[in-house]
Structure 1
């Protein structure tokens, strides 16, 4: 198994450009690269360029690291062509709309962020003649796959209702993947696609309001975990550090223009099953799972129920292997956030 240090060591002496540098994956990737520099002794350092929307937010996210001479923060808008002086060896494109409510309320912007932002970054990779690029896609691009499939591999695409505005996210990911394949074929941009399972663990910010964070907060406070759906949809998950190792690996390994599922196959279960596990393991006997399903669930922007068990075999053949299971993911996230019963 290839460790995170081994994967990142191969980037020594290079310049890595990251979009969405203040987001969960982007910020953790920045920290992993800078951490390598601290422990690289006399070895060559990695220069990190973080592309951000808000310098103020970046200062809050990175705090002391803002003064690191190997970190350059660049404020800009992905809807416009990206201009960066100097060489760029590797690109990690993590920027994306992230919340279901945003997808529903702003479907046009969701599609534009996916397509135009990805096109501008691919143009940058083409201009700089990068050695490697990783585009972060999502398991949502699969849509509703055949429920009879034991494992969903990279070619097993399913149905997406293109007239449902919630599909702006999943269809945005699909067209962006197609764009990556097109740039790889026509312009020889060495881009690989990482199709992420839902990712969480140490590194999640306190302001994160996605379902895994909500479950954890409720259980730690001894409150009921409230589901606004029947919880029948299957979730696939991966720990933050495992995803960082996968991205670092894909910057140099794997077939150009191809996609790789990034997931821990052992974590797959329904939303209701995960909620029950969190209540039992972290609720101290005071939490239970309750259902409060609104009449118009579409208002909340929830994705349709999907039965899907992702396969990670293709990525594992490159030398990657997930290290953390679902209980450990929650334990580490809760410890990292210092969640307490009295937390505001």
Structure 2
């Protein structure tokens, strides 16, 4: 089945394709892991969109575990003459005959329930997979690499009027099985810095806030997708926590532009938070925003909190409010706020008839 591309997604891809720094990839080869994930696929589609313009093409190699899935996901993008999909498990060392100039390492387990049910696999994929990519980057002597980390590395921080910067790490309970994700992400960040210091690998760390936008899969079950479905179907938003944890978000096209920025302006071995500061709010506040502003008060927010001994894989409550100052200093600025992000996402999903099925 061909990939569906909504009007809004096309507009977002065109916006990324027109981003000034993207043209600096012209004539080069970029490797993207996690190519069928939300960020990896959006990055590749944006580059293919660029290739359809007048500039010198960018060669793309997308690492996937299932080429048929990639064919379905990418549709007409799949046949771009400068795009190649390579079936590869990142737990296996990577060897390519062709030179690679840039890497975006986006492969990761991102489903919260798997952090709890498959913590060993979560750790292995994050740590061993990333080591293989760093070894490959070292062998290839790449010009730049961006590793996609997560805001979960910040852990639980003390509530403060000041925004949390890249140096303000909080605590993580290493004996909580869900920490398999956040703790392994921390270790890989240290590994990235170490590969730069010891071997000169020019890898920069992107700490992503929760990122979403048009192009999410119909199986997506993270909170933003659940809220969007509620707005589309007219069903009440049901929260299984008190919703007091503060969330931080970034619109997908803004995040892709930030990753491109880091390829050329990020300091190797350093970490940068990718977030729109205007989006920092509690889950309950976001639910209310969707119910009121997106669903026009046609739905309510309902709290249905399970017993404490039932582990649903949710992250511990945090009052984290992230700073985008370090990214802003590189010239990047988020453009799409949370209400606009939901408006664009819902408009896109309305065009995609099978999303709700």
- State the TM-score bracket (shorter-chain normalisation): over 0.9
CA shift in 2, pair 1:38/1:276, >3 Å: same
Q: How far 1:284 moved relative to its partner? A: 3.3
Counting matched residue pairs gives 341
Write the mapping of 1:57-68 to structure 2, written as runs, cut at 5 A. 57-68=69-80
The residue aligned with 1:30 is: 44
The residue aligned with 1:177 is: 189
CA shift in 2, pair 1:259/1:164, >3 Å: same
Gaps of 5+ in 2: 1-15
Q: How far 1:149 moved relative to its partner? A: 5.0
Q: How far 1:148 moved relative to its partner? A: 2.1
SS at structure 2 position matched to 1:50:
strand
Note if 1:120 corresponds to 2:132. Answer: yes
Q: 1:15 aligns with which of 12, 29, 32?
A: 29
Q: 1:260 aligns with which of 269, 272, 294?
A: 272
CA shift in 2, pair 1:340/1:205, >3 Å: closer
Deviation readout 1:108-132 (Å, 9 max, x if unpaired): 1111111001000001100110000
**What is the alpha-carbon root mean square deviation over aligned residues?**
1.6
- Report the TM-score when normalising by structure 1: 0.96
The residue aligned with 1:198 is: 210
Q: 2:330 aligns with which of 318, 325, 329?
A: 318
In structure 1, C-alpha distance between the alignment counterparts of 2:35 and 2:353, rounded to whole Å: 31
Write the mapping of 1:294-305 to structure 2, written as runs, cut at 5 A. 294-296=306-308, 298-305=310-317
Q: 2:62 aligns with which of 42, 50, 53?
A: 50
In structure 2, C-alpha distance between the alignment counterparts of 1:269 and 1:92, rounded to whole Å: 29
Q: How far 1:44 moved relative to its partner? A: 1.5
The residue aligned with 2:150 is: 138
Runs of 4+ in 1 over 3 A off after TM superposition: 339-343
SS at structure 1 position matched to 2:103:
strand
Q: How far 1:245 moved relative to its partner? A: 0.3
CA shift in 2, pair 1:298/1:84, >3 Å: farther
SS at structure 2 position matched to 1:192:
strand
Note if 1:83 corresponds to 2:56. Answer: no
The residue aligned with 1:331 is: 343
- Report the TM-score when normalising by structure 2: 0.93
Gaps of 5+ in 1: none
